[in-house]
Structure 1
């Protein structure tokens, strides 16, 4: 099975071209982030800094910056907006870790484990507020509408996922609705706002939205696959977290649909919380491999990855486009 989408050479895809493309802009974004996470209440920058400085790739703000490069924007408004995007993302991570009871995030102990759930929720609220301050300062009602809508959609996706937890009858359509909301919506908005500040035609806005949305779906599909094929060192979280939290991700949805009566009984018990041991997780891995559920999840990720690449096909060729294409290939190749 190939890890690439359309690459013509044998070099492994990398985020390095994207990192190099936006390095100067990212310095400006980081300055905004560091400035706006400050507070007279010491716990706020301490807790926020734990996650913001925790080794994340800053993928979403990088997409805002690279999209601006792709369309030739030469202003600076996107710096604050990229910081706003990162604050939205960080706030959702703080809240997610509380909801999921997670112990690890990017290989480090989660904020809720160190400071407790109340502090994590409240600092997440603070970062949401900071993100909206930055949107208002930009002055564009259209940008405000795009990012505020994305924030609402993310929350809806998280609630949808919460109500779907431990339900073995979750179908693929609802699963895709969940990841489209909780992950892809912010990817899409992060890309689209660059076209707004650059005052580009709506067609370019929609093309960047489609790029981000399809990349976000591919990114989440790969994340859900590697929960069953990777380890904590690679993933930055405990292997099997999704399994133990009773999440019906696509590998499980497919394995359940393809299993026999005994397999389905196992999945029902596991998802409902009655089969949670290491041996049970090992058996789950065997089942997703036997049914090729991980392979097919990754095949779907490649499909959405190609849709992302096709979405920016009409933009001018150059370093920005190449870097954005390779970022998609990298996102898909993480599982290999």
Structure 2
């Protein structure tokens, strides 16, 4: 049996049983807000490390690139609800510490507040030895929140960052479906790892415009799709016609926090990507990830989601939510806390992949 399910009835009965003490909403994981993952192995220069920060209902990735200069990429950073999650002060402290003394690049997948509203705060200054080299963003500059527009403008004017976003000064446009002909994007290079844009500005609406980022290193890969809808995912599939192996990945973050709306996390996308580790940045609101989205990946033809130790998965349904006891490598920030993916490559053979879970940063079950 793939999983056991525990529905809302169990929660209700538990509340009755504990009525004498009062029934309260309990955090889905035990990590104190902003907790440092103390048990994480020390990162070496041959490791591509991706931090999927537990920022609640939002998304914030900090990517430590392999190589001598230790380039860091911040891919989105925002939240609209930090219940039981890291607050923006903790996020700022963490990010400022990680970027200190290293080249920095910023990718904004699209304009939505839960992806970008923390950027002006967590990157209000650059620590000693840090240079901001690139700011790439999907959509049109004019549509971004005012403080984010100001930050982008000042990043270019005061810090000398190269800005690539439609509608900004002399920035060349990112045409609909742009993928750099499936070649690595030099401006977004991640140390000795390669960065690809699978598609950007596909379809109408901010989610469909999401810049879908792929990182490749040592024969392994990770995909960060933002809030990509079915239109964007289909564009990525079309772009890789004849190169379908580019979409098959080791670490896949579910698009749009695991939503099933507008075709996100479709059966076609699950079949195309066949991840080994399936992740979701999701808080306690909105019922993300959706159970049906998770099932698309687990039930996909030739699915590769790894077997794992028993752990809990909280997912949303049309009415209410469900807590499942699963034995598959599916993890969410809302349940497990901050997630950290490592791709380690010694220079020969194929890289190894490991995933660590909050609250302490131990290997995920």
TM-score after normalising by structure 1: 0.31
- Structure (1/2) with the larger strand percentage: 2
- Structure (1/2) with the larger helix percentage: 1
